[in-house]
Structure 1
Amino acid sequence: MVITSKIKSVDFFRKIPRDLTEASLSGAGLSLMAAFSMMFLFGMELHNYLDITTTTSVIVDQSSDSDFLLIGFNLSFPALSCEFASVDVSDVLGTNRLNITKTVRKYSINKHLESTGPEFDPVPTSTIIKHDVKVDEEYGEGSVTLNSQNFDKIAHQYSVLVVNFYAPWCDWCNRLKPSWEKAAKIIRERHNPETDGRIILGKVNCTEERDLCRSLFSHHVQAYPSIRIFRRGSDVRDEHGNHDHESYYGDRNTDSLVEAMEHLVAPNNSESRKLSLHDRYGQSKVFEKRPAPREAGCRIEGFVRVKKVPGSIIVSPRSESHSFDASQINMSHVISSFNFGKKVTPKTMSDLKRLRHYIESHDKLAGKSYINVEDHADVTIEHYLQVVKTEVMSSSYQLIEDYEYTAHSSLVHALTIPVAKFHFEPSPMQILVTEDPKSFSHFITNVCAIIGGVFTVAGILDSLLHNTMRLAKKIELGKTF
Structure 2
Amino acid sequence: MFSSSKIKSVDFYRKIPRDLTEASLSGAGLSIVAALSMMFLFGMELNTYMSVNTSTSVIVDKSSDGEFLRIDFNISFPALSCEFASVDVSDVLGTNRLNLTKTVRKFSIDSNLRPNGAEFHSGSAANIVKHDNEVDEESIEGGALVLTAHNFDKYAHQFPLTVVNFYAPWCYWSQRLRPSWDKAAKTIKERYDPEIDGRIIMGKVDCTEDGDLCRRHHIQGYPSIRIFRKGSDVRSDHGHHEHESYYGDRDTDTLVKTMENLVASLPSESQKLALEDKSNVTANTKRPAPSAGGCRIEGHVRVKKVPGNLIISARSDAHSFDVSQMNMSHVIHHLSFGRKVSPRVMSDAKRLIPYIGSSHDRLNGRSFINTRDVGANVTLEHYLQIVKTEVITGNDYQLVEEYEYTAHSNVVQSLHIPVAKFRLELSPMQVLITENQKSFSHFITNVCAIIGGVFTVAGILDSILHNTVRLIKKVELGKNF
> Out of 237, 246, 249, which is 2:247 matched to?
249
Aligned pairs for 1:108-119 within 5 A: 108-119=108-119
Partners of 2:339 and 2:437 in 1: CA distance: 26
Q: What does residue 311 of structure 1 align with?
A: 308
Q: What does residue 178 of structure 1 align with?
A: 179
Structure 1 residue identity aligned to 2:336:
N
Partners of 1:376 and 1:295 in 2: CA distance: 20
Q: Answer whether contact 2:82 2:294 (CA < 8 A) is retained.
A: yes
Q: What does residue 464 of structure 2 align with?
A: 464
Q: Answer whether contact 1:276 1:287 (CA < 8 A) is retained.
A: no
- SS of the aligned residue for 1:312 comes to strand
Q: What does residue 342 of structure 1 align with?
A: 339
Q: Does 1:261 align with 2:259?
A: yes
Q: Deviations over 1:3-62 (max 9, x none)?
A: 222222222223344555555544444333323322222222122222223332333334
Identity of aligned residues (%): 67
Q: What does residue 386 of structure 1 align with?
A: 385
- SS of the aligned residue for 1:14 comes to coil
Q: What does residue 289 of structure 1 align with?
A: 286
**CA shift at 1:367, angstroms?**
2.6
Q: TM-score, normalised by structure 1?
A: 0.88
Q: Answer whether contact 2:109 2:295 (CA < 8 A) is retained.
A: yes
Cα distance change, pair 284–241 in 1 and its aligned pair in 2 (3 A):
closer
Aligned pairs for 1:62-461 within 5 A: 62=62, 67-136=67-136, 138-214=139-215, 218-239=216-237, 242-266=240-264, 267-268=267-268, 277-278=277-278, 287-357=284-354, 359-363=356-360, 364-377=362-375, 378-394=377-393, 396=395, 397-461=397-461
Structure 2 residue identity aligned to 1:246:
E
- SS of the aligned residue for 1:252 comes to coil
**CA shift at 1:77, angstroms?**
1.1
CA-based RMSD of the aligned residues comes to 2.9
Cα distance change, pair 223–83 in 1 and its aligned pair in 2 (3 A):
same
Partners of 1:431 and 1:459 in 2: CA distance: 50
Q: Answer whether contact 2:57 2:433 (CA < 8 A) is retained.
A: yes
**CA shift at 1:286, angstroms?**
5.4
Which moved further from structure 2: 160-169 or 124-133? Answer: 124-133
Which moved further from structure 2: 372-381 or 133-142? Answer: 133-142
Q: TM-score, normalised by structure 2?
A: 0.88
Cα distance change, pair 263–19 in 1 and its aligned pair in 2 (3 A):
farther
Partners of 1:55 and 1:2 in 2: CA distance: 54
Q: Answer whether contact 1:242 1:294 (CA < 8 A) is retained.
A: no
Structure 2 residue identity aligned to 1:261:
M
**CA shift at 1:170, angstroms?**
0.9
- SS of the aligned residue for 1:128 comes to coil
**CA shift at 1:298, angstroms?**
1.2
**CA shift at 1:475, angstroms?**
5.4
Which moved further from structure 2: 408-417 or 314-323? Answer: 408-417
Cα distance change, pair 128–411 in 1 and its aligned pair in 2 (3 A):
same
For this pair of structures, how many residues does the alignment match? 472
Q: Deviations over 1:345-394 (max 9, x none)?
A: 33533554533436425223223222111112521112222222333334
Q: Answer whether contact 1:276 1:286 (CA < 8 A) is retained.
A: no
Cα distance change, pair 164–338 in 1 and its aligned pair in 2 (3 A):
same
Cα distance change, pair 449–471 in 1 and its aligned pair in 2 (3 A):
same
Partners of 1:463 and 1:241 in 2: CA distance: 102
Structure 2 residue identity aligned to 1:308:
K
**CA shift at 1:312, angstroms?**
1.2
- SS of the aligned residue for 1:204 comes to strand
For structure 1, which runs of at least 5 residues remain unmatched after alignment?
none
Q: Answer whether contact 2:242 2:291 (CA < 8 A) is retained.
A: yes
- SS of the aligned residue for 2:34 comes to helix
Structure 1 residue identity aligned to 2:333:
S
**CA shift at 1:449, angstroms?**
0.9
- SS of the aligned residue for 2:14 comes to coil
- SS of the aligned residue for 1:138 comes to helix
- SS of the aligned residue for 1:265 comes to helix
**CA shift at 1:122, angstroms?**
4.2
Structure 1 residue identity aligned to 2:74:
N
- SS of the aligned residue for 2:221 comes to coil
Cα distance change, pair 241–37 in 1 and its aligned pair in 2 (3 A):
farther
Structure 2 residue identity aligned to 1:381:
L
Cα distance change, pair 359–300 in 1 and its aligned pair in 2 (3 A):
same
Partners of 2:199 and 2:351 in 1: CA distance: 71
**CA shift at 1:328, angstroms?**
0.9
- SS of the aligned residue for 1:357 comes to coil
- SS of the aligned residue for 2:100 comes to coil
Structure 2 residue identity aligned to 1:139:
I
Q: Deviations over 1:388-434 (max 9, x none)?
A: 23333346444443322332222122211111111112223333333
Cα distance change, pair 286–293 in 1 and its aligned pair in 2 (3 A):
closer
Q: Answer whether contact 2:258 2:282 (CA < 8 A) is retained.
A: no
Partners of 2:278 and 2:10 in 1: CA distance: 111
Q: Answer whether contact 2:74 2:297 (CA < 8 A) is retained.
A: yes
**CA shift at 1:256, angstroms?**
2.0
Cα distance change, pair 236–20 in 1 and its aligned pair in 2 (3 A):
farther
Partners of 2:347 and 2:366 in 1: CA distance: 29
**CA shift at 1:113, angstroms?**
1.9
Which moved further from structure 2: 154-163 or 433-442? Answer: 433-442
**CA shift at 1:96, angstroms?**
1.0
Cα distance change, pair 225–427 in 1 and its aligned pair in 2 (3 A):
same
Cα distance change, pair 428–287 in 1 and its aligned pair in 2 (3 A):
closer
